[in-house]
């Protein structure tokens, strides 16, 4: 009886690990899409609204969903409250938020490079920088979709099957 209980526990645990992994895989393209729309709204704020950066990022924080809203919130807070450069504030907020996202190293580098250009140029070159970053993110998104389609089902069935194998080996 206790053996059966242990077996069920093992299989539930490994299946949950597999599902968690596949959720992580499907979360990445979603967050990339969110990031792209955030940059597009930022572009609109800069180009058409002539909004200052801290105001624009506060508005973005109100519009967006969870992981990115905290990022823009802390960015605008750093800009208004502390004596710092845009680049520094951007990088610091990026570092704070990065652990709670499903994004990878490549996206981090892209966003960091974008932060280095932020607020340095006139509006036209700023728009060009945003377009460039969007193009980079587009590439990463295609890659993320590819990975999701490939590995999502594998992660699920691999979790279940490894649990089954473990049970058979232990019985």
Partner 1 sequence: MGLDVDIIFKIAGVGIVVAFLHTILDQVGKKEYAQWVTLFGFIYILFMVASVVDNLFQKIKSVFLFQG
Residues lying near partner 1 in the complex (CB under 8 A) are found at 150-151, 154, 157-158, 161-162, 164-165, 168-169, 171
- For residue 153, the minimal CB distance to partner 1 (Å) is 8
Q: Which residues contact 5 (CB under 8 A, 6 or more apart)?
A: none
For partner 1, the closer of residues 145 and 151 by Cβ is: 151
- Measured from the CB atom, is 65 or 142 closer to partner 1? 142
Q: Closest distance between partner 1 and the C-beta of residue 5, in Å?
A: 19
Select 16 or 165, whichever has its Cβ closest to partner 1: 165
Task: Determine the Cα–Cα distance for residues 121 and 129; give it in Å rounded to an integer.
Answer: 9
CB 93 within 8 A of CB 74: yes
- For residues 132 and 43, what is the distance between their CA atoms, to the nearest angstrom? 12
Structure tokens at 131: 């377009």
Helix, strand, coil: what percent of the chain each, to 5? 85, 0, 15
Q: How far is the CB of 109 from partner 1 (least distance, A)?
A: 27
Q: Any idea which residue has 């932020």 for tokens? A: 118
Q: Which is nearer to partner 1, 29 or 159 (CB)?
A: 159
Question: In whole angstroms, how close is the CB of 83 to partner 1 at the nearest point?
Answer: 51
């Amino acid at each position: 009886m206790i053996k059966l209980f242990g077996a069920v526990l093992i299989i539930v645990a490994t299946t949950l690990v597999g599902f968690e992994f596949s959720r992580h895989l499907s979360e990445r393209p979603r967050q990339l899409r969110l990031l792209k729309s955030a940059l597009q709204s930022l572009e609109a704020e800069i180009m058409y609204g002539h909004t200052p950066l801290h105001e624009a990022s506060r508005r973005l924080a109100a519009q967006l969903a969870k992981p990115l809203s905290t990022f823009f919130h802390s960015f605008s807070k750093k800009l208004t409250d502390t004596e710092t450069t845009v680049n520094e504030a951007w990088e610091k907020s990026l570092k704070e938020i990065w652990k709670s996202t499903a994004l990878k190293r490549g996206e981090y580098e892209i966003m960091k490079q974008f932060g280095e250009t932020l607020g340095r140029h006139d509006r036209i070159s700023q728009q060009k920088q945003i377009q460039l970053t969007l193009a980079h993110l587009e590439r990463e998104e295609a890659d993320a979709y590819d990975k999701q389609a490939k590995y999502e089902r594998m992660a699920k069935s691999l979790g279940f099957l490894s649990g089954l194998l473990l049970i058979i080996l232990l019985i």
